[in-house]
Chains A and B, each alone.
Chain A
């Protein structure tokens, strides 16, 4: 059986955005076995992805240690050791590697582990010329200047397949939660998960803003509960510290306590998930939870909005005077109203043959024409 390796060494959000590409590769090459190479700490999520036969864990910390030793004294034994490590990961080279990152080391990993590499560069790991789709992804990542093709669909383009035209969802994992978290999603309603942090500081929503949001939501929803998720315990503590006991009794702080599988289980139990453009937000979307995204800084809804249906994103057009869509988002949960404060716009998610797209909230779905044009331009064989 031919075997292919998908290489995604970036963060949680990117791994989840790879799901459409994995789906389409499986559909296009049904005789092929697809394995996934991802960072060790994301392997649990990798194993949840449909279409992935086997997950190979990439231990970046161990590579850092080996590099430190080799930098001090380059010896054959160091190369032998890393070679042995790679052989242990994949004793037989794959027929093909699909490299979804533009990081140099992902390309080298592909070259080491597979006989053929379909990656972002035209001329191997030392090449500098990007493939058309890789150039598009780089623009999205660096300049946020995409042309309405969603990043997840661009990953499909990178792999030479078209978007799936549907939304593939993850099954919530059967995992036991800590006893004190077990009631989440079971008493009261609605339960809203709030993502307190972000991988990059520029995507942090100020703790004071989240505090106001929680107060607004719990005031408008007397039965509502808020679940704080993420890894940033200090931020969660900062959010809660000035709140009165009556409010604190309705907040469930899970930050820094859960594995990724437990996080998935918690997200799946919540009616909605609120946060900025982060890995957990995309995790929730992949689990089929409707999410509310606050996109600001360099985050752009059209390229990295949550993939699927029924997601709502408030996009900051320009941040003026620290205005945040606090009441607007609580109202959306309550009444399904979608209003935007000054400096923000509101979008809802859709999906069609050319992939995911967002239309202005309150209007009927309006697929942007740019996507089709771009697919014709970058991947004529598929269009």
Chain B
């Protein structure tokens, strides 16, 4: 009997459907070649999938490394199939009772493996997961809430897209099931556009029930700007840099006094690399939501290795660039809107007169806007331009409102609501449309959340966020006048598009959605820390019901509300509340002893 027949016979006992489709598949994804020591190895398009010298030895070393992170109770999930040497090694090394799953994105590869080697002794000791990425995500979550991914790189790279889709599917499932309460410290910038996004993020985290420590750096803006008086740019930069360093020490002090589960920084947060490395040594988890165009602001190069997780508003090239610079985890997380703030308004007649126009644009006077907006003016319709940094834009002087002063968020929202056609032109340094048009700006989501109609310049990432029925986009400046005319004449059409866009925002693009996805992403990578907390595994009710929880500890836990997250310090505080003179059990004393050391752990400053 051939290896294939023996292997499939073994597989068929628990996975008849997988055995069947493997048998029917023609295989041939891998090229099987003998290794130096004689066992079969494999290549794919000329690249080795296993060692050409000794695949078993290599697999054993890989498996040993995985055991270091694999915690009790977690389902190990192997990404990468190849000839499955690494899975065999992991099965041999894993502790009894530990569950292991293997993801099979392409059955052809499994057929190659099953044809090349005998695996019948262990094939039924693992869970096989196959199908579409979404189906595999569902299967994995059904098997265990805590997943520990183990990537065998040489084979996993054959299916990078499928694995990425699998992770996306898992994130969505995890995000939808979040019940636990995290403590997140949000670090904002001293000033700038990401300050507002930091505030929205704080609001979203709080709305989701998490405890937030908002480390607002904006009160320091005046002091920071005071260093701008120096004539010599080098002096100015040095002083401002030193000031930012001092602020980062202040941030560390806050973190030391009230340690969070996660430190989430927004772009331009004053956290330098030394501080980030210090935090990592002290086991803090850090994440950065880099809501900037990575091509324009490049300080990420210095900080890439400092944060544990990066979230960016651009894909492919941005993700690759950050990884090349040392970032360990980089994920796409687009901008969003806060529907509590960005909302449809019933304006008074006076407000409608003040803020309303046929066409409006709100934003700063970047070069391309100065060039393009005058071309879109027309005597046939009213046009209002709002925002600052328009000095010298003579062609727009007649439409510039409030002499080009900066307007606040509430005024923006009134303008959005009062305008028939809002123009949304992403900024760039050139004269025309952004030649590298990928990310979608916050304004897109804010206008949509307001139920306001907008014409937006095309972005490569926009179709994934809004369909053409939800947003009208233009690919050339010359298209805009005709689009304005068309849509000004079609009020019902504008309303239908805007309402569809708002529905989409409410369904998928709020800051709450983003925060959930961010936490789910970290949770997938940190199943025993953030993952366990967001799943609610640290809630008193869940902890009390765990089979290994002894009656005495369960009794302590039942004194808390079932949905309250409970940590060592909470149990200790409850014990201390018994007061002086009370007899303490041995378990209670042990909890107090551990807590006395916990209280000393964050010697950060």
Residues of A within 8 A of B (CB): 60, 63-64, 66-68, 70-79, 82-83, 86, 103-105, 108-109, 111-112, 121-129
Contacts and interface: CB of A to CB of B under 8 A. Distances in A.
B532 interface: yes
B601 interface: yes
A126 B576 contact: yes
B283 interface: yes
B325 interface: no
B292 to A, nearest CB: 32
Contact of B590 (A72, A112, A128): A112
B593 A64 contact: no
A124 B580 contact: yes
Contact of B283 (A68, A82, A109): A68
17 contacts: A63-B593, A71-B601, A72-B529, A74-B567, A75-B549, A79-B591, A86-B590, A103-B596, A108-B596, A111-B589, A123-B581, A125-B589, A126-B575, A126-B581, A127-B580, A127-B581, A128-B580
B70 to A, nearest CB: 15
A372 B34 CA distance: 91
Interface string B537-574: 01000010010111001000000000000111101000
B538 A73 contact: yes
Contacts of A66: 594, 597
Contacts of B598: 67-68, 70-71
Contact of B596 (A76, A83, A104): A104
Nearest to A67: B597
Contacts of A74: 543, 566-568, 571
Contacts of A86: 590
Nearest to B71: A73
Nearest to B595: A67
Given A66-B594, A111-B584, 12 more contacts: A70-B568, A71-B594, A76-B553, A79-B587, A86-B590, A103-B596, A108-B589, A123-B580, A123-B581, A125-B592, A127-B581, A129-B580
Nearest to A112: B589
Which of A70, A74, A108 has its CB near the most chain B CB atoms (within 10 A)? Answer: A74
A91 B532 CA distance: 35
B234 interface: no
Contacts, number: 100
Interface in B268-318: 283
B95 interface: no
A108 B587 contact: no
Interface residues of B, number: 39
What are the nearest 4 A-B pairs in CB distance? A67-B597, A123-B580, A127-B580, A123-B581
B557 to A, nearest CB: 9
Given A67-B598, A108-B589, A108-B592, A73 B584 contact: no
B590 to A, nearest CB: 5
Contacts of A82: 590, 593-594
A69 to B, nearest CB: 9
A77 B548 contact: yes
Contacts of A70: 568, 594, 598
Nearest to A64: B597
Contacts of B601: 64, 67-68, 71
B127 interface: no
A112 B586 contact: yes
B569 A112 contact: no
Interface in B409-440: none
A37 B306 CA distance: 42
B348 interface: no
B517 interface: no
B100 to A, nearest CB: 21
B144 to A, nearest CB: 16
Nearest to A106: B596
Interface in B312-334: none
Contacts of B232: none
A108 B548 contact: no
Contacts of A121: 580
